[in-house]
Amino acid sequence: MLTSTMQPRPLLVRDIMRRGEAYCADSKVITVFADHYTESTYAEVAQRATRLASGLKAHGVSSGDRVGTFLWNNQTHLEAYLAIPSMGAVLHTLNVRLFPEQLAYVINHAEDSVIIVDDVIVELLGRVTDQLTTVKLFIVAGDGDASVLPGHVVRYEDLLASAEDSFEWPTFEEDTAAAMCYTSGTTGNPKGVVYSHRSTYLHSLAETASGSLGISEQDRILIVVPMFHANAWGTPYSAWMVGADIVMPQQYLTGEALARIIGDTRPSISCGVPTIWNSLLAWSSSHDVDLSSLRSVIAGGSSVPETLITEFEQRHGITITQGWGMTETSPLAAVAIPPAHRSKGDVTDYRLKAGRVVPGVEVRVVSPGGDVLDPDGVSVGEFEVRGPWVTASYYRDEDLASFHDGWLKTGDVGTLDARGYMAITDRTKDVIKSGGEWISSVEIENVVMSHPGVFEACVVAVPDERWFERPLVCVVYAPNSQVPFAELREFIAPLIAHWWLPERWCEMEVIPKTSVGKFDKKVIRAMHERGELTVTMFEEGSL
Amino acid sequence: MLTSTMQPRPLLVRDIMRRGEAYCADSKVITVFADHYTESTYAEVAQRATRLASGLKAHGVSSGDRVGTFLWNNQTHLEAYLAIPSMGAVLHTLNVRLFPEQLAYVINHAEDSVIIVDDVIVELLGRVTDQLTTVKLFIVAGDGDASVLPGHVVRYEDLLASAEDSFEWPTFEEDTAAAMCYTSGTTGNPKGVVYSHRSTYLHSLAETASGSLGISEQDRILIVVPMFHANAWGTPYSAWMVGADIVMPQQYLTGEALARIIGDTRPSISCGVPTIWNSLLAWSSSHDVDLSSLRSVIAGGSSVPETLITEFEQRHGITITQGWGMTETSPLAAVAIPPAHRSKGDVTDYRLKAGRVVPGVEVRVVSPGGDVLDPDGVSVGEFEVRGPWVTASYYRDEDLASFHDGWLKTGDVGTLDARGYMAITDRTKDVIKSGGEWISSVEIENVVMSHPGVFEACVVAVPDERWFERPLVCVVYAPNSQVPFAELREFIAPLIAHWWLPERWCEMEVIPKTSVGKFDKKVIRAMHERGELTVTMFEEGSL
């Protein structure tokens, strides 16, 4: 082989920081408070990030040390995003919504030596401090009471004021850890993903593509998705790299609050989970709001209902674009921008997909048996992902079940079409493994619920001697309705593959739900196992 | 340090090829011929590229071997761009406009083993075949006469027809050579730059940024800049990565031809040197043309006159955006998109800059003494460039003078402002080194030529005992004008720094010019050295 003559420059977060600082010094970072906004320039933020690095170093933080952040989306958090990786330490964003035992677990597992915490949520951190084994220093942002924190506590502003205003940024290999984030799985301990400088740099560059978020200096981005969750989808870095103005909403995330913030600060782009946009839409239907500054709203984290897309379009002229990714994928892996040269009708079909695979990421669909399926838009399997910003393992974890021949198994089930659009139909843990094939619980739920006599329907896998698993349909009838199961079966039969047609049906008063309102299928499966459900059984293949 | 958990996926051209092939199979590649167009889908192009790789392998091409291309911008050339690096060989684009001795030199220096050549320019290659020492095979695209080629000759279509339709694409390190291109310097032998898979991938991704070319699948790009010159600015790869339609104009580059091509194929974006756009503008002023499909025209390679920008804007509503780069920088390093939040008046000022440094590239300005100058928009020095797609050396060349502490010395002189905009005032070889500072020959020329009595003015450096060098102004008077030099000095004095004011003046009938119409300063300096010029000398500092 012949080696190139190109410079061996590593891709480092420091260079993201340096570009925003050097060339976009007058771009703005705005933080929302209850009754006012603060505004700083990039030059000021970069200067404070430099002091933060100096101050952390003065307190003993060195290369590779983990520094936790327990912060809302605000300027302090952005300073931590810039300073900590750039100094060679590791930014560990802590999810403020974790259960206390999970919070203590991730801090101890990552061996955080310092935690930077917002004064308004000091209480949440205080609940677990007696379980922490590695933290030597708490740094409190704000003047609020922090007496619940034990040991060595300094104020963020005091640390910055006493720190030097310059810092000798080190250089190192690009696969050095820059940041880490734990997945918030519903079962077992959270698992850590360690991002590299390389992966963060590449991901940031990829988000500036006009076929992706397309963020540029012309934009002002309202970052609604939390910076403690999958790096706020990487937007703090991609925004800073190009010099976009940044609006940080902190904990003010209700529809009412967001309407006010958008009207006041006039962002051109925003990003957050669908429920946030639903709240905003609900508020706007009964109040006078001005959302006209928004050119683009990115929604991800769960599937976006069609009504949300059409209502935003029709009532506000705003395009909602779905994105797909996971903590394990940095996270951006797919964006549901419709393909070129499509008719208007098709456009909405494409917007309803989870996303189109972006350059840099590869996605494939794999059958339960491990075969790679055709990207034909029909073959259903588990999505597997590969690429330079996709994790190859979990931090200090022996989990091999999540990886397959160098690909990450995502746990999401669905189809991939010939243009790289992903449609997600299920999670692997909820899918029904029947005779070596998969049946989507979500699709059956949707067709059953499309019957007017049904209020809610939940489909779970139950054991079957012959087929390994078969679907059980749990029905909550609409008021004054009592459609016989046989009639429901006839109703759905033409709408699904014939071998999907469920034999097992039961009625429920109410479907058990999780704390965030999703069907709690684990509970239903346990009820079935204990014989607590009255199941009507039809003969296989009968109608 | 802590190492990340990210996948160690190399950045390879093969993955650029794979994405376009997999997800944009129905995007189009259109090639222009004298009396018709050919159109292929990405799927077809990728299939042919696969056959090309198989065919080359069957003819003994293996990893690291250099394969030269002597082709216009057409589908064949794109197939070579995709196949050759992806198979692990090295694409060597040969400039069809090189002098024969330079052409023979670069083929021998690169040790090309195969050359793919368009039948219509076989004659140009035939002139040097007797000097070639390493070429074992010529592959001729098209059916035209190729009898001037000696030895082993096959037809491109025959090679593809007999090749296997699948290929086992190898994997390798990302710093492996992908392509090479020689600079066409006016003195000395051309020097080779060897691009890596990494640099090509990063450069392609960077061009998709909305603050850069912003190319996406929604675009159709007319690639006017030759693929044998600095990789057509990387656009074949960035277009393919996102699935933009591509229009290849071959040798049809006159204003008339381009007007027809644009009207027929309706591209949304194009790229080429300013003289091309000047020809198009001239043609359009006396003919009925439809350029309405164009959203963006990128111009680079030399500075863009203000009139070209304003005329395109006013007459056609088309924005011309300058880009800056060199063969050594892959080439895209800066794009002159105006900054956010500027007034309309300022916008044109920014469009007249050479470009704004793009994310991934660093630029600094260095004084003749080697000091890094402030990016204040005023301090003049040589631009030095650094980044992962900038060369660190020349291929098999001991030139160290072009590099400085890990930065590439560009030979371009000018200022860098606080927002990262570069303004180029001169080339280092033409700049006047006076008392440890630099005087721009181009700026003095411009102010002298702004006097109505002057037709042309050329400024060169001549030796000076005290200041090392001082400017000599050579004036060609306008018809019927004979303004005294003293009056010209008074005229320009308020327009330039007082210490720039030239003491030496001479009149010329005509300024010697190079073959491309530029002032030939080497010739003027030689005339001065031989005492052939009648120089009027003013006292230093006098007016």
- Rounded to an integer, the average pLDDT of B488-510 is 94
Model confidence pLDDT, tens digit, residues B327-386: 999 999 999 999 987 666 678 889 999 999 999 999 999 998 899 999 999 998 999 999
Residue A344 has pLDDT above 70, yes or no: no
Greater pLDDT, B61 or A282? B61
pLDDT band at B486 (very low <50, low <70, confident <90, very high): very high
- Report the residue of chain A nearest B91, measured CA to CA: A2
Which residue from B309, B275, B229 is spatially nearest to B516, judged by alpha carbons? B275
State the catalytic residues of A. Answer: 183, 328, 433, 438
State the catalytic residues of B. Answer: 183, 328, 433, 438
Residue A518 has pLDDT above 80, yes or no: no
Distances, alpha carbon A314 to alpha carbons A268, A283, A309, A351, B203, in Å:
18, 16, 9, 15, 39
Of B24, B177, B218, Cβ closest to residue A4 = B177
Chain B residues 434-463 with CB within 8 Å of chain A:
none
CB of A6 within 8 Å of any CB in chain B? yes
CB B284 within 8 A of CB B291: yes
Amino acid identity of A120?
V
CB contact under 8 A, A176 and B375: no
pLDDT for res B508 = 96
Model confidence pLDDT, tens digit, residues B253-310: 999 999 999 999 999 999 999 889 989 999 999 999 999 999 999 999 887 878 889 9
pLDDT band at A345 (very low <50, low <70, confident <90, very high): low
pLDDT for res A99 = 85
> Which chain A residues are within 8 Å of B237, Cβ to Cβ?
none
Helices in B146-196 by DSSP H: which ranges? 156-161
Of A9, A198, A395, Cβ closest to residue B5 = A395
Of B22, B212, B217, Cβ closest to residue A340 = B217
Of A4, A356, A394, Cβ closest to residue B5 = A394
> Which chain A residues are within 8 Å of B216, Cβ to Cβ?
209-211
Residues 6+ apart with CB under 8 A from A529: none
Tell how strand B153-155 and strand B137-141 pair up. Answer: parallel
CB of B390 within 8 Å of any CB in chain A? yes
CB contact under 8 A, B209 and A211: no
Of B2, B25, B362, Cβ closest to residue A177 = B2
Instruction: Report the distance separating Cα B399 and Cα B401, nearest Å.
Output: 6
CB contact under 8 A, A63 and B1: yes
- Report the residue of chain A nearest B203, measured CA to CA: A205
Torsion B226-B231-B233-B237 (CA) sign = positive
CB A391 within 8 A of CB A196: no
CB A207 within 8 A of CB A235: yes
pTM, entire model: 0.91
- Rounded to an integer, the average pLDDT of B99-103 is 91
According to DSSP, the residues that pair with B409 across neighbouring strands are B384
pLDDT for res A342 = 63
- Rounded to an integer, the average pLDDT of B230-249 is 97
pLDDT band at A314 (very low <50, low <70, confident <90, very high): very high
According to DSSP, the residues that pair with B468 across neighbouring strands are B434, B464
Residue A514 has pLDDT above 80, yes or no: no
According to DSSP, the residues that pair with A189 across neighbouring strands are none
CB of A67 within 8 Å of any CB in chain B? no
pLDDT for res A343 = 62
- Report the residue of chain B nearest A198, measured CA to CA: B6
Q: Closest approach of chain B CAs to the CA of A322, in angstroms?
A: 18
pLDDT band at B523 (very low <50, low <70, confident <90, very high): very high
Q: What is the mean pLDDT of chain B?
A: 94
Q: Is A6 helix (H, G, I), strand (E, B) or coil?
A: strand
Angle, CA A427 vertex, CA A421 and CA A429 arms, to 5°? 155
pLDDT for res B192 = 96
Q: Is B378 helix (H, G, I), strand (E, B) or coil?
A: coil
Instruction: Report the distance separating Cα B399 and Cα B396, nearest Å.
Output: 9
> End-to-end CA distance of chain B, in Å?
65
> Which chain A residues are within 8 Å of B16, Cβ to Cβ?
359
- Test the A interface: residue of B2, B241, B393 with most A CBs within 10 Å: B2
Which residue from B300, B182, B177 is spatially nearest to B230, judged by alpha carbons? B182
Chain A residues 348-367 with CB within 8 Å of chain B:
356-357, 359-360, 362
- Rounded to an integer, the average pLDDT of A378-404 is 94
CB contact under 8 A, A88 and B2: no
Chain B residues 97-156 with CB within 8 Å of chain A:
none
Model confidence pLDDT, tens digit, residues A478-509: 889 999 999 999 999 999 989 999 999 999 99
Residues 6+ apart with CB under 8 A from B289: B259, B262, B263, B283
Output phi, psi for A96, to 5 deg: -70, -10
- Test the A interface: residue of B1, B3, B6, B42 with most A CBs within 10 Å: B6
Instruction: Report the distance separating Cα B216 and Cα B218, nearest Å.
Output: 5
Provide the percentage of residues in chain A whose pLDDT is more than 70. 98
Which residue from A221, A210, A169 is spatially nearest to A21, judged by alpha carbons? A169
Residue B440 has pLDDT above 90, yes or no: no
Provide the percentage of residues in chain B whose pLDDT is more than 90. 82
Of B4, B339, B389, Cβ closest to residue A6 = B389
- Rounded to an integer, the average pLDDT of A348-373 is 94
Instruction: Report the distance separating Cα A249 and Cα A33, nearest Å.
Output: 8
Residue A261 has pLDDT above 60, yes or no: yes
Q: What is the DSSP letter of B505?
A: E
Chain B residues 159-188 with CB within 8 Å of chain A:
172-173, 175-178
Instruction: Report the distance separating Cα B228 and Cα B200, nearest Å.
Output: 15
- Report the residue of chain B nearest A87, measured CA to CA: B1
CB of B481 within 8 Å of any CB in chain A? no
CB B233 within 8 A of CB B257: no
Tokens representing residue A395 in the block: 């931090």
Residue A107 has pLDDT above 70, yes or no: yes
CB contact under 8 A, B195 and A6: yes
pLDDT for res B516 = 56
Greater pLDDT, A299 or B435? A299
Chain B residues 8-27 with CB within 8 Å of chain A:
8-9, 11, 15-16, 18-19, 22-25, 27
CB contact under 8 A, A1 and B202: no
Of A25, A66, A218, Cβ closest to residue B418 = A25
Instruction: Report the distance separating Cα B269 and Cα B496, nearest Å.
Output: 38
pLDDT for res B530 = 96
pLDDT for res B157 = 98
Residues 6+ apart with CB under 8 A from B452: B478, B481
Which residue from B173, B175, B144 is spatially nearest to B157, judged by alpha carbons? B144
Of B11, B360, B362, Cβ closest to residue A388 = B11
Sequence length of chain B is: 543
Provide the percentage of residues in chain A whose pLDDT is more than 90. 82
pLDDT for res A437 = 81
Q: Closest approach of chain B CAs to the CA of A162, in angstroms?
A: 27
Torsion A205-A207-A210-A211 (CA) sign = positive
> End-to-end CA distance of chain A, in Å?
65
CB contact under 8 A, B339 and A217: yes
pLDDT for res B301 = 83
Which residue from B133, B106, B63 is spatially nearest to A2, judged by alpha carbons? B63
Lowest mean pLDDT among A422-436, B125-139, B313-327: A422-436
Of B7, B27, B194, Cβ closest to residue A392 = B7
CB contact under 8 A, B7 and A217: no
How would DSSP label each residue in A190-252?
-EEEEEEHHHHHHHHHHHTBTTTT---TT-EEEE-S-TTSGGGGGHHHHHHHHT-EEEE-TT-
Which residue from B181, B213, B157 is spatially nearest to B92, judged by alpha carbons? B181
Which residue from B105, B153, B96 is spatially nearest to B133, judged by alpha carbons? B105
Count helices and strands (H / E) in chain A: 15, 27
Residue B186 has pLDDT above 60, yes or no: no
According to DSSP, the residues that pair with A270 across neighbouring strands are A222, A297
CB contact under 8 A, B214 and A210: yes
pLDDT band at B517 (very low <50, low <70, confident <90, very high): low
pLDDT band at A442 (very low <50, low <70, confident <90, very high): confident
> Which chain B residues are within 8 Å of A386, Cβ to Cβ?
7, 9
- Test the A interface: residue of B1, B4, B13, B174 with most A CBs within 10 Å: B4
CB contact under 8 A, A4 and B214: no
CB of A418 within 8 Å of any CB in chain B? yes
Q: How far is CA A438 from the centre of its chain?
A: 26
Which residue from B329, B325, B318, B330 is spatially nearest to B300, judged by alpha carbons? B325
Q: What is the mean pLDDT of chain A?
A: 94
Cis peptide before B331 (omega within 30 of 0): yes
Most confident residue range from B45-49, B394-398, B425-429, B495-499: B45-49
CB of B335 within 8 Å of any CB in chain A? no
Residue A530 has pLDDT above 70, yes or no: yes
| A vs B: CB pairs below 8 A | 218
Residue B430 has pLDDT above 90, yes or no: no
CB contact under 8 A, B388 and A9: yes
